[in-house]
Structure 1
């Protein structure tokens, strides 16, 4: 009996190296066991006289049993059950021990390398396991037959004992490999694997003993037994296929029943994607909905954390190719592992997928969308045509459910409209802006204008009166803007307190300025909220096409620059001018930053944090660094805003999280169980895929979730409180620790902290640096420490530069400190040596090492 364990496809890191070393160590133990039992292999002839089985015949037999196997999948673990006991028992009786070992290894190499194309590490482990199993089988069989003096019942007992012993040993070895990959040995999983692996063994051994008896009585029965063995393998394979089909039919039946009874859109989508993942044993599933012209209007995803998320980004070149293949051709698309098709490879690489299957969601009015599953769990096999047919069946059931009533219409409306105000959203604005630009190039229009409008002091209103009143304010603003624009343009809400107005058909500055002033006048009347008359002001930035830009992204960028200038200068309305552009260096930094992310030039330094009571280092804060080969060190204050404006903040955040969690894994392997804190930007709190990305990276580096602290500022949360707080709750449910950074400089209040699922507050360095007993900041710091204590939060002081400040904070009851007095920022690789130097200094009674 043999079994295969699933290996997660993750890049090399500290945790992965540790896993590989564990597997190699176990392989060495197995080979050592085989070597220790070599005296039992010294017998030169077979146990019974009669037909002698050569090694090549055994190799063919073992290869045949390894090819015709039953795959059993349980969660992320894949096992195979074969009929390898049949050639094993025959070899014990009719082959020399050396021929038996050689035949099994040669047959296994042929299957693992040529048929399954297993990775080198897995092949090495399995060969070590097979060598040890065969040697143990020979030793057990020899010991029992010698003890029973060759009696026929003793030989049967020896055959059963040899097969069951090796099967149990194989199950134990596989469970140890799985434990190395999953971070712990599960006894129930070990017991289940052993029972599953040994369930068929007694029957196969019995058949083998019948064959031994037959051959011993008449060697001419060899061909009859060969024919019987082939039929047995074919029947076994047919049973495995039938069992797999039966299981899939059961799942499809349950799926159709569940989907047909689901009343809510989200529940239908969740069940469709969940069943698609389960049936095809995949890590990810998504649906992309399309409009009549084949353009993608929105995606719904179910990731590794089984959290449903939506996205409304426009399709890129790779996505348009997928839509053309699936929607345009109305045909499924199979992208197997290691495909060499360039277009397929680009699509897989863009979305970081190993393999995928995409099928159309068909409706009465055409194709509704694309159902995609990706990344099959386990490496036994990739997707094939049977999986395509299975996913098409799921898609057919899903299509019927999604067309129930006006579900598709609602989905399309939700994809193109803001849920709060009912106004067009960013996706629809970009589509209409693209149409307006097309009209300019086709000479059907003289120009177009886009305005970005941002409310002044909306965050203060929202924080004072609450989110419900803030939502009512946004609804009223949207209605007023729509009335003021009338038929002249389209009003859209981009998110938070930011609106956009598209005025097609004109490039006249005076006309556009007139529309802008009309919008500002519409907001002059106070809005009644919670019994109060609230005055609202706004800032508007304007960009014109084709004068300022000839593409939607360029127009929105220039309108955003003009809007920020209007807000800073308090002009109310500002039309874009070239001098509003950032410096040439900053423009250059966008391309340079993208290249730096691709080339791995972005690094992370860490600054340690320690407990004020005893000075024990508990973790560190990650500080992003960029050492440009020509520009030198680029300050984070310079390139992080560039990343936010250019859309690179997502890849930058992923890079920092990846390096930080790799550092934690390295520290843990060196015996230092430290955590790390990473700052999140405002844009990151609006990223629908952030939770899945954090979960993926934690799993990749095998780091417990509570060793990661994500720091957010008060201002970043208040940019869109409802959305940000919901995302923070999802991160908290994941087990990640949350911290409020720069506390005391923004909207700090008891009610504010009670709404956030955080475990920590960090006192801003402006209150800590140079703190003295009689200073004016000491009361603020003491208040924050007391507030944190009453709310059960840890309080961290950053910017501690002197011993007196450290001691004063300790006397107040502050929990942790960070700053130059403890340690300056340093490369990740220097933290462990710094810790050892510090421990030696403290051991000698010295002062803290800075």
Structure 2
């Protein structure tokens, strides 16, 4: 490789050409102009056929031809250059600078640690003048400051060492610099490419080791650099995620189609990781949208695409609002656990169909946010159960339920109380012991409490769940499978689980009178579950006709709005006492 080729290669590796203006460099350029009391100063990089200005003061254009440019001589020789009067210099008196009215030039080389000159820190004037040795020394110091800034950005916190691409911090800074150069906000498209889902990454590391991931990331980085081209940057913004901006004026739907085709073509190479790659395309207003939000909405679009198994996803403000709502709820619920006045329990009764007697009630969590109002448990509980808040949430519900159950028992009410637990609780090694301690603290018999869990919660880690459930059952607690029929419905595991009660999901019970096939299915479920030794509860009973069918099929218990809606503890107390005075048979 020739010296010039090596110099150009060093310049391109630093990824400086055609990047947005940067305040870090502009600050040095302004200082140069002020120190020399000259109208023009620039950080000039010598490309193959041009002088491109990374920073400039007093110059409108971004580049000039390399031919007969004094900065090119500085790059070629790596020596400082002083030209008191361009019109008196034989090489530059016919140059573009001289024809543009420039008379004075002084430049100090921008030299890498390997000795390659990238260009010059230069100052220019419209009148002939001299420069003292002190001034040239100051110019050399300013050039050294520019190189320090270049090395700082490249080596310390701006370039990813794995991919050699600019990282997330550089992406954010570049957007800020691009916005600073605008006279009005500009609509642009951001693209985030997510190479693989977390499960695929985990499996690849487990089988092939982390070196495989590193190799794929480097390969994809090279391919994306080619796809994006020399005029734009690709950024390595997370372990297996890359981002870049589409060209100005790109329309999102047409661009998304082209991007999908590009990703398909990339799959044909050695980038095996791209078999699971998805991309998100997010329009934003450069100069208005915060850079961090640009990455967030692009990532959101990519994840939406992954969920529906599409190659490319377009950002949806409605879906984004839903995601932000979920995050808001999770954040607010964490605070609600510290301010329990927002939380309360309601209780829905359950009755024995043979006697009409109320056998128990289910404790249900309710949340009233001070500004959001009542939040549906169907909205917030699935979110909570996927986070570490499942443990404190269940602990709060159990404590409140045990407190209320103890009060009812002291008042002479023979009542069993059911509490829902999640898959997360079944992974807690001390869960059974904490339940035991709670029962002892409140003076409760174990079989007065029933814990409900879904089939999906059990099957998430069947071995661990079985061990915890056996510990709970060994204490004398009653266990119930909730929402039976909507999860895995694994009868082999159902046989092994130490459960006493199975609750048929409301989706099977509602509409029972209008659907003959559903009725046959529910009848078979009741018979099968009872043959396995379980007590069967039908959920979602809302009409007398449905209740009559369940009684005819021999169902053991029922729960639903026909029996009683979820109610406060004092209201359930009144409901129970009124029912004791009524005719017991249904």
- TM-score normalised according to structure 1 size: 0.37
- Cα distance 1:645–1:669, how it changes in 2: closer, same or farther (>3 A)? same
**Structure 2, unpaired ranges of 5+:** 1-153, 161-165, 169-192, 219-236, 247-258, 282-289
1:591 aligns with 2:331: yes
Secondary structure, aligned partner of 2:332: helix
Q: Give the drift of 1:634.
A: 1.2
Which residue among 544, 556, 570 is the counterpart of 2:309?
Answer: 570
Contact 2:536 2:555 in 1 (8 A): yes
Separation in 1, partners of 2:238, 2:459: 27
Contact 1:453 1:541 in 2 (8 A): no
Which residue among 794, 804, 811 is the counterpart of 2:545?
Answer: 804
Deviations along 1:49-100, whole A, 9 cap, x unmatched? Answer: xxxxxxxxxxxxxxxxxxxxxxxxxxxxxxxxxxxxxxxxxxxxxxxxxxxx
1:605 aligns with 2:356: no
Separation in 2, partners of 1:549, 1:702: 53
Deviations along 1:225-267, whole A, 9 cap, x unmatched? Answer: xxxxxxxxxxxxxxxxxxxxxxxxxxxxxxxxxxxxxxxxxxx
Which residue among 500, 503, 507 is the counterpart of 2:239?
Answer: 503
Separation in 2, partners of 1:711, 1:836: 26
Matches within 5 A, 1:746-761: 746-761=487-502
Q: Which has the larger radius of gyration?
A: 2
Which residue among 420, 436, 441 is the counterpart of 1:679?
Answer: 420
1:479 equivalent in structure 2: 207
- TM-score normalised according to structure 2 size: 0.52
1:723 equivalent in structure 2: 464
Deviations along 1:759-793, whole A, 9 cap, x unmatched? Answer: 22111111112423973211111111111112111
2:39 equivalent in structure 1: none
- Cα distance 1:599–1:476, how it changes in 2: closer, same or farther (>3 A)? closer
Matches within 5 A, 1:60-459: 442-443=157-158, 445=160, 446-447=166-167, 453=197
- Cα distance 1:539–1:566, how it changes in 2: closer, same or farther (>3 A)? farther
Contact 1:447 1:507 in 2 (8 A): no
Separation in 2, partners of 1:785, 1:668: 31
Which residue among 397, 409, 432 is the counterpart of 1:691?
Answer: 432
Which residue among 532, 536, 550 is the counterpart of 1:795?
Answer: 536
Contact 2:401 2:417 in 1 (8 A): yes
Deviations along 1:444-501, whole A, 9 cap, x unmatched? Answer: 6343798762669xxxxxxxxxxxxxxxxx97894268675254569xxxxxxxxxx9
User: Larger % of helix: which?
Assistant: 1
- Cα distance 1:841–1:577, how it changes in 2: closer, same or farther (>3 A)? closer
Which structure exhibits the higher relative contact order, with contacts defined as CA atoms closer than 8 Å and separated by 6 or more residues? 2
CA RMSD of aligned residues (A): 4.6
Separation in 1, partners of 2:302, 2:205: 17
- Cα distance 1:618–1:451, how it changes in 2: closer, same or farther (>3 A)? farther
Matches within 5 A, 1:28-43: none
**Number of residue pairs matched?**
364
Deviations along 1:802-838, whole A, 9 cap, x unmatched? Answer: 2232232122221111112221111122222111111
Deviations along 1:593-621, whole A, 9 cap, x unmatched? Answer: 22322121211101111111111211111
Contact 1:447 1:504 in 2 (8 A): no
Which residue among 639, 643, 650 is the counterpart of 2:384?
Answer: 643
Q: Give the drift of 1:671.
A: 1.0
Contact 1:708 1:737 in 2 (8 A): yes
1:629 equivalent in structure 2: 370
Contact 1:539 1:571 in 2 (8 A): no
Q: Give the drift of 1:582.
A: 4.0
1:704 equivalent in structure 2: 445
1:839 equivalent in structure 2: 580
1:661 equivalent in structure 2: 402
Separation in 2, partners of 1:840, 1:440: 82
1:714 equivalent in structure 2: 455
